[in-house]
Every structure is written in structure tokens, then in C-alpha cells.
Amino acid sequence: MTLDDIDLAALVRILLARWKLILICTVIGTSIGLGYALTAPKTWRSTSRVLVDPRDKQVVGQGITLPTQGTDPAWVATQASLVTSEATLGRVFDTLDLGKNPAFAGDRETALRKLGELILVERADESYVLDVSVTSNDPTLSTRIAGALGEAFVASLVDAKADAIRQATQLLGRQIDDLRDKAREAEIALQKYRTDNNLVSASGRSVDEERLRQLNEAYVTAGVRAQEAKARRDRLAGAVRRGGAEVDSALQSVDSGVLSRLKIEYALAERSIAEMARELGPSHPRLQAAEANAARTRSLIVDELRSLAATASSDYDQAAAAEAAAKASLEGATDLVNRNGVAGIRLRELENEAKVRQDMYASFVSRMEQTALQTGTQISDARVIVPAQMPIRPYTPKRTLAVMLGFVAGFGIGLTGALYRGRVDLVARPARTVPAAADEAEPVAETRPARQAAPQAPA
């Protein structure tokens, strides 16, 4: 039977004829839905919305926020799993003192498992927002647990970062102890090598090198003094050799207080002689006395030059001897440094090793201080953006949905019952009419030729 075989008018007549059955089933279904909505146990859901920030935030350091930790869904799922972790649930259990609540009777493990069954964590719209929902039979309890759970999750992230820093600090402490021991061993080995090889240092250099430097400076100084003494001796010797008319030029090349005073006296005597020569005759006693005074001054100058020349010669001899002695000492110290060259190479290796270990030790100490400072200055990577609110209406049962489902179920059952009871009329009536018409049509078509042929038989 197809749809064309069903008489829709008859179907409507059947449903109208049994409207009471449909109405009764609909009323019963709706009543059952309403009764369930009114008598079913109520549950209440409270939600706390938490934002997880993928950027690592800290107070100590160059920046408040560090690069993103992760942006994929797996990272968000990991953060969501931390909400229902045992540490977070334990914090909520202790904060709210749920051990006194009959709903969480039993040992701590059982109570935490019951608490976890009340919690649902969902990611909101592919974002970094987590909806932490708690469903229970008590609206106040749901609100308290949802609020405490959000705060506990935020605090647990801080604790996790602080624990990681404490572990890093402990690891750095062990490394520092090892580096301290190695640096001490390197310093002891360096000092022992210096003592064994007579390479005691002064101002960062070995004694031999320092002594070589000092002797070299002394040799250079002695050479300069010898050259200056020789130059002074040569100037004075030349001045003595020139003497007489060249006294003025000799005085210009010699620095002496006595010669300067004698030069002034000689100049005054020369000027006096020139003035008297213009006024007096060449045989005048005063002119002759002035000339005698000038000659005596010049003689004193020559004597002083000779005395200075002798002193300069003696100074030069002493300076030359000091230069020779400084040169000999320098050559001896140079030979000693050259002989200790291999020891110096090993010494420098030990010094470099000791310095490297000291630098590493200082670097680790500084890093541990910075790390330890971060322990109490951590900022959570999550925050509660919507605190848990007291629910206004129950989460389950859904009264409107229950009544609608009861209505639809009752109405469907009523229709099904009506159609089932009227199925005979719906199917039998077409079977009596349509096939009969077909049977009547066929004999007509078959007998029509026979009626036409009947009159020909008598003929």
C-alpha cells in the first residue's frame, strides 16, 4: 500500500472521531512531565569564569611579561586539568572545611573524588577563558565551591611557579657548592705552584717579572742620567777650553748660580770700562783699575768653570758606573725570567683556570640571588574575571522542557492510539471500493464483443 492508497479524508475522520483519546493521552503526558518537573530533585549550578593568560608575568626582571608560553588548545586543556587537580581540590576542601559537610562524608580521598564529580570545566568559545561550574543540591554550596575553586586555581599557579623557583634555587645551591669547592681547589693549586717555583706574585705579576720591570726602568733612568752628565761635562769642558774672550758663550751654555753672579759682575765691569774709555784716557788710573777688576772677574769665571767641569766629569763617571750596574742587573733578571718561562706558562694556565672558576662561581651566586628574590614576588598567570553568583533558578530539572516533552509524548501516543484503533477503516474501505470498480470494468470490456456477435447466430 502506498500513500496514494490512503484516503486522507478518512484519516482526518478517524482522528476527529477519536479526539477524546488523543486529548486524554496528551493531558496524561503533560501531567506526567509537569509532575516530574515538580517532584524531581533539584540541582543548582554556579559558574566562576577564569581567564588564563599565556604570557608569563613576574615582577623581578627586565619586563613585567615574558613571551607567550603557549597558544595551542593543548596548553589551555592543560590549564583546565589543573582546576580539578588534587592540589586545587585539596585547597578548596580545606578552605571551605568540607569535611564537616555530610555530602562529603568518608575519608579525604573519597571526599575529594566526590568533590571532583561536582565540577565541570569548559573552554569558552575557543578563547583563554575557562568556565568552572559546580553542580550540587545546595545553591549556596555550589556558589561557595565555584568561588573558592576559581581563587584556588589562581593561587595554585602562583604556588606552582614558586615551587619551580624553589627547586631551581636548590639546584643552583648545589651547583654553587660544587663551584665553590672547585674554585678553592684551583686557587690552592695556583698558590702551591707559585710557592714551589718561587713565582710569588705582586700586584698581579710574578716577582721575577716585577723585578725585571723595575730593573729595566732603573736601567733606562741610569742611561738618561749618564747621557745628561756626559752632556754637562762636555759643555763645561768646552767652556773651559774656550775661556778668555768666549766667557759669555760659555756662561750661556752652563747653568750655575755662581757663574750667573760672576757674569753680572763681569758685564758691569765691561760697561764701566767702556764709559771710562770715552771720558778718560787709556792711562787713567780709574780705567786701569776697572780693567784689572774685569780681568779678575773673568779669572774667577774660568776657575768656576774648571771646578764645575771637574764635578761634571765625576758625576758622569758615577752615572756611567750606575748605568753599567743597572745593565748587568737587567741582563741577570732577563736570564732568570727566560729560565722560568715554562713555569710562567703553567702559572698563567693555572691563573686562567682559577679566574674562570671564580667568575663562574660569582655568576651562579648572582643568578641564585635573583632567582631567590622571585620566590615571593610571583604574579599568577590567571585571574577570576566573573566571580561565582548565587543561581536564581535550578539547573535541573528544566520545567518548561519537561512539560513540553510530556505534551509531545502524550500527543504522539494519542495519535498513534487513534490511528491504531482506526486502522481497519483506513485500510479496508479502499479495498471494498476500488477493486470492485475494477472488476465491473473488466467484464464490460470482455462481453461487449459478444453482444455484437449474438444477432448473427440465427442467420
Residue of 419 and 204 predicted with greater confidence: 419
> What CATH code is assigned to 44-172+377-386?
3.30.70.1130
Region 105-117 average pLDDT: 87
Domain locations in the chain as residue ranges: 9-40+399-430, 44-172+377-386, 202-339
Whether the CB-CB separation of 227 and 316 falls below 8 Å is answered with: no
**Strand 65-68 with 55-57, pairing:** antiparallel
**Strand 129-136 with 119-123, pairing:** antiparallel
- Which pLDDT does position 124 carry in this prediction? 78
Residue of 143 and 312 predicted with greater confidence: 143
Whether the CB-CB separation of 316 and 230 falls below 8 Å is answered with: yes
Residue of 342 and 76 predicted with greater confidence: 76
Region 238-265 average pLDDT: 61
**Strand 382-386 with 65-68, pairing:** unpaired
- Which pLDDT does position 453 carry in this prediction? 40
Flag whether pLDDT at 451 surpasses 60.
Answer: no
Dist CA 227 CA 319 (whole Å): 8
Residue of 100 and 346 predicted with greater confidence: 100
Flag whether pLDDT at 442 surpasses 70.
Answer: no
Surface-to-core class of residue 259, CB atoms within 10 Å of its CB (0-12 exposed, 13-18 middle, 19+ buried): buried
Dist CA 443 CA 438 (whole Å): 9
Residue 248, all three cell numbers: 759669555
DSSP state of 59: S
Residue of 5 and 295 predicted with greater confidence: 295
Residue 364, all three cell numbers: 651562579
Residue 459, all three cell numbers: 442467420
- Which pLDDT does position 434 carry in this prediction? 42
Dist CA 442 CA 383 (whole Å): 88
Of 378, 379, 363, 367, the C-alpha closest to 169 is: 367
Region 249-273 average pLDDT: 67
**How many alpha carbons lie under 13 Å from residue 380 in its C-beta half-sphere?**
17
Dist CA 401 CA 409 (whole Å): 12
Region 8-29 average pLDDT: 83
Q: Averaging pLDDT over each range in 109-118, 155-164, 271-280, 287-296, which range is the top one?
A: 109-118
**Strand 205-206 with 65-68, pairing:** unpaired
**Angle, CA of 15, 19 and 23, to the nearest 5°:** 130
Beta bridge partners of 13: none
Flag whether pLDDT at 283 surpasses 80.
Answer: no
Flag whether pLDDT at 366 surpasses 80.
Answer: yes
pLDDT band at 133 (very low <50, low <70, confident <90, very high): very high
Q: Averaging pLDDT over each range in 19-28, 235-244, 285-294, 437-446, which range is the top one?
A: 19-28
Element (H, E) at 274: helix 257-279
Instruction: Residue 244: count other Cβ atoms within 10 Å of its Cβ.
Output: 8
Region 365-373 average pLDDT: 78
Region 410-430 average pLDDT: 74
Flag whether pLDDT at 110 surpasses 60.
Answer: yes
pLDDT band at 408 (very low <50, low <70, confident <90, very high): very high
Q: Averaging pLDDT over each range in 278-282, 345-349, 358-362, which range is the top one?
A: 358-362
Dist CA 425 CA 201 (whole Å): 125
Region 156-176 average pLDDT: 82
pTM, entire model: 0.48
Cis peptide preceding 435, ω within 30 of 0: no
DSSP assignment of 413-441: HHHHHHHHHTHHHHHHHHHHHHHHHHHHH
Surface-to-core class of residue 255, CB atoms within 10 Å of its CB (0-12 exposed, 13-18 middle, 19+ buried): exposed
- Which pLDDT does position 458 carry in this prediction? 38
Residue identified by cell 556558589 is 143
Number of H helices, E strands in the chain: 13, 8
Flag whether pLDDT at 150 surpasses 60.
Answer: yes
Dist CA 206 CA 306 (whole Å): 49
Whether the CB-CB separation of 47 and 388 falls below 8 Å is answered with: yes
Instruction: Residue 1: count other Cβ atoms within 10 Å of its Cβ.
Output: 9
Flag whether pLDDT at 297 surpasses 60.
Answer: yes
DSSP state of 199: -
- Which pLDDT does position 329 carry in this prediction? 80
Residue of 20 and 210 predicted with greater confidence: 20
Flag whether pLDDT at 379 surpasses 60.
Answer: yes
- For residues 431, 437, 440, 445, the Cα torsion angle rounded to the nearest 10 degrees is -130
Calculate what percentage of the chain has a pLDDT beyond 90.
Answer: 3
The tens digit of pLDDT for each residue in 45-103 reads: 999 988 887 766 555 554 444 545 445 678 788 888 888 888 888 989 988 888 888 88
- Which pLDDT does position 337 carry in this prediction? 65
pLDDT band at 341 (very low <50, low <70, confident <90, very high): low
Whether the CB-CB separation of 388 and 146 falls below 8 Å is answered with: yes
Whether the CB-CB separation of 259 and 301 falls below 8 Å is answered with: yes
pLDDT band at 12 (very low <50, low <70, confident <90, very high): confident
Calculate what percentage of the chain has a pLDDT beyond 70.
Answer: 75
Dist CA 350 CA 336 (whole Å): 21
